[in-house]
């Protein structure tokens, strides 16, 4: 892995996409949890899933600028694979910080997102969208 200017540019773009994903994630989670009264872990998972699709599309075409190196299904499967492991990490951190330590749900979710963001960037940089 090379830490050059292109790596950092991709990391910054990934961060911008991630911020848009946070807005989508929190928005869907909030609507599902507060308005539809879904259980908090289901609402969290739905928010995460909708944000994952959003982030895949933005990262594919803007962050990593991949326009067809591999089959779309294979590429999306790789992306979702990392996202699903990220979802497990996300829910584990949420359970520990909110469920056990009684930290505010949304603050715990923000911390979980930060941790999962590092996992997702490195996995997708090195595997999903590698040339």
CB atoms within 10 A of CB 129: 20
φ/ψ (deg, to 5) at 104: -50, 135
In the structure, what pLDDT confidence band is assigned to residue 130 with cuts at 50, 70 and 90?
Answer: confident
Domain hosting residue 57, numbered range: 5-128
**1, pLDDT greater than 80:** no
SS3 state at 68: coil
Contact 128, 75 (CB under 8 A): yes
Instruction: Kindly report the pTM of this predicted structure.
Output: 0.73
In the structure, what pLDDT confidence band is assigned to residue 68 with cuts at 50, 70 and 90?
Answer: low
Task: Provide the 8-state DSSP code for 38.
Answer: -
Number of structural domains found in the chain = 1
In the structure, what pLDDT confidence band is assigned to residue 70 with cuts at 50, 70 and 90?
Answer: low
């Amino acid at each position: 892995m090379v830490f050059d200017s292109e790596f950092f540019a991709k990391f910054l773009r990934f961060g911008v996409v991630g911020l848009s994903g946070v807005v989508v994630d929190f928005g869907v989670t909030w609507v599902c949890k507060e308005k539809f009264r879904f259980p908090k872990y289901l609402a969290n998972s739905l928010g995460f899933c909708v944000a994952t699709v959003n982030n895949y599309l933005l990262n594919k075409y803007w962050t990593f600028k991949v326009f067809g190196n591999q089959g779309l299904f294979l590429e999306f499967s790789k992306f979702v694979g990392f996202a699903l492991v990220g979802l497990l990490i996300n829910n584990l951190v949420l359970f520990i910080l909110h469920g056990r330590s009684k930290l505010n749900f949304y603050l715990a979710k923000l911390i979980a997102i930060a941790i999962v963001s590092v996992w997702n960037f490195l996995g997708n940089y090195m595997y999903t969208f590698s040339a």
